[in-house]
Chain A
Amino acid sequence: MPSVPRDTIPMLLVPALMLAMLPLVGSMPTWVTLTVAGLAMGMMIFIMSSGLTLVFGLMDVLNFGHGAFVSVGAFAATLVLVPMQGWLEADSLGMNLAALGLAIAMAMAVTAVLGLVFERVIIMPVYGQHLKQILITMGGMIVVEQLIHVIWGADHKPMPLPTALRGAFVLGDAAIEKYRLLAVAVGVLVFIVLTLLLNRTKLGLLIRAGVENGEMVEALGYRIRRLFVAVFAAGSALAGLGGVMWGLYKETLTATMGGEVMVMVFITIIIGGLGSVSGCFIGALLMALTANYAGFLAPKLALVSHIVLMIAILLWRPAGLSRK
């Protein structure tokens, strides 16, 4: 039976941008460093954004408090990382990654539970009321940030990288930070898992159908409300994972670190098309790469590169990259 060709243009944008920048940057080692750094940052933004785009698309919820899950995820990871300091400082990649894996599991579990509470207590009373959603979720984020201050203190908290992830690999004249490679690997893994889940499972089909028409999914006999809650918890857990990755990247934690990345997160999901994980993935990479290249080629433009990119993409595809 015939099938239609995929919409490949958005997928080609990332390699096209990378190749187009090579002659402008001029130096191969510099280009490699900028590109790997951009990809790593893009992956971290994707991880933080992927849950929000599903929540936005499926539940029509403007969750301006999503950044709270990023912050809580990072702080929750310290509940494991501090007692396992010895494993982090051991000169063994296996022990380093084991400690990091446990920290990520803790962060995702805590943020999933927080997401469930957030959905039941804060979001549920304001379904369908966008203005109230914005106000109450921003309020929720402020409350969570203050709770972080109460629990972990108001000072910046250091989050050093595990020993084996410090430093860089040197390829020719190009230096590639080890942690950035890990961030790329984790981002690709999250993308593959989400893509397989959404495209190869009935649960994924239900989520995609629910993003488009939740009422019809219910008329087919599925309880979409339960799906909403599960997706919200999963989206919060992904934000928690993003928080751990972002915290290790910055090597310092603050209660407001999640709120500070929300502008990039929102731009990513708008560029990608609300509810689209693949659009979110491409959007995050484009945004981070553009910022990195602009920062090198025209530092003053770096401040507005996100906005310029968003305008350009929305002029081309008003509903985002994933929708023609």
Chain B
Amino acid sequence: MTDAVLKLSGVHTHIGEYHILQGVDLAVPRGGLAVLLGRNGAGKTTTLRTIMGLWQASAGSVQFNGRDISRLRTPDIAQAGIAYVPESMAVFSELTVRENLYLAARSGPMDAARLEWIFSFFPALKKFWNYPAGNLSGGQKQMVAIARAIIEPRELLLIDEPTKGLAPAIIQSLADAIRQLKGQTTVLLVEQNFNFVRQLGDTVAVMDDGRIVHSGSMAELAADRALQERLLGLALDSHQ
């Protein structure tokens, strides 16, 4: 059995009176890229926010490296080695690109070699290094958000819908960047764009109504059009 860096077991999350996650079971294999698919409102973002402690699980457990983190506070979860790129990107718009990254480097000065590695797939960040992040385009902000998450090595990277609202050319360069991250860290990627993730993912889980309704290998799902139709309500051809 593959070693799971992150394991959710029977996770329930309530937001106010709404019962969003209704017993989520999910395992993220160490070193791979796991994809979480599902339509709008299925509970994907809530799953990531629950992992990060931004919303508390009302039942179930979230285990990171075998340790239950479901009762920890967000800063402790981040310090345990999980980095988060939210759907909104949440770059600090008043701060420059440099300051955004500097803030994320908790252990001290930014590592020059790692910075050059980031610049190799996000060259725009070097160009706009001293610009306020709020002045950048949507794609550039997404680059800042991802760079901020990887400026120091983290064991697990959670990325929420990175392609949302981006131009196709940007999406391709984002895919190249995420491909580079594979092997460096474990990634859990939430997406709705199946064409984007089928070229990247090793494993896939599909959510619906706050539950995982399918999990398996990405190759298996990519090859099975009937399964795609049933789980995602679309065929690959219609999404290209």
Contacts and interface: CB of A to CB of B under 8 A. Distances in A.
Contact of B92 (A1, A209, A221): A209
Interface stretch (B38-46, B93-101, B196-204, B224-232): B93-101
A218 B78 contact: yes
Given A1-B126, A219-B74, A219-B86, A202 B131 contact: no
B132 A205 contact: no
Contact of B99 (A4, A205, A221, A224): A205
What size tier do the contact residues of chain A reach?
20 to 34
A224 B76 CA distance: 12
Given A218-B74, A222-B75, A208 B94 contact: yes
Minimum-distance CB pairs A-B, first 5: A3-B130, A221-B78, A1-B129, A216-B90, A218-B74
B162 to A, nearest CB: 16
A206 B103 contact: yes
Interface in A213-263: 213, 215-224
A205 B103 contact: yes
A212 interface: yes
A4 B73 CA distance: 37
B179 interface: no
B92 A213 contact: yes
B90 A221 contact: no
A264 B54 CA distance: 37
Interface of A: 1-4, 202, 205-206, 208-209, 211-213, 215-224
Interface in B41-94: 52, 54, 73-75, 78-79, 84, 86, 90, 92-94
B135 interface: yes
Contacts of B104: 220
B102 interface: yes
Given A219-B86, A220-B148, A3 B131 contact: yes
B131 A4 contact: yes
B93 A219 contact: no
A206 B92 CA distance: 10
Nearest to B125: A1
Nearest to B135: A4
B127 A1 contact: yes
A277 to B, nearest CB: 12
* B-side interface mostly: mixed
Contacts of A213: 90, 92
Contacts of A205: 95, 99, 102-103
B103 A220 contact: yes
Contacts of A211: 94
A272 to B, nearest CB: 14
Given A3-B130, A205-B102, A206-B103, A220 B95 contact: no
Contact of A223 (B75, B96, B127): B75
B106 interface: yes
Given A2-B130, A4-B132, A221-B106, A209 B78 contact: no
A215 B55 CA distance: 11
What size tier do the contact residues of chain B reach?
20 to 34
B95 A208 contact: yes
Contacts of A223: 73, 75
Nearest to A224: B75
A108 B132 CA distance: 34
Nearest to A218: B74
B102 A202 contact: yes
Given A2-B128, A4-B131, A219-B74, 12 more contacts: A3-B131, A4-B130, A4-B132, A202-B103, A205-B102, A211-B94, A212-B93, A212-B95, A219-B86, A220-B104, A221-B75, A223-B73
7 contacts: A2-B129, A3-B129, A205-B102, A209-B92, A212-B94, A220-B106, A223-B75
Contact of A209 (B73, B103, B106, B131): B103
B148 A209 contact: no
A111 B236 CA distance: 65
A215 B86 CA distance: 11
Contacts of B130: 1-4
A219 B84 contact: yes
Contacts of A212: 92-95
Contacts of A208: 92, 94-95
A219 B54 contact: yes
Nearest to B128: A2
Contacts of B128: 2
A4 B84 CA distance: 28
Most buried by A among B79, B94, B96: B94
Contact of A218 (B75, B106, B131): B75
A224 B78 CA distance: 13
A289 to B, nearest CB: 27
Most buried by A among B74, B99, B131, B148: B74
Contacts of B135: 4
Nearest to B129: A1
Contacts of B86: 216, 219
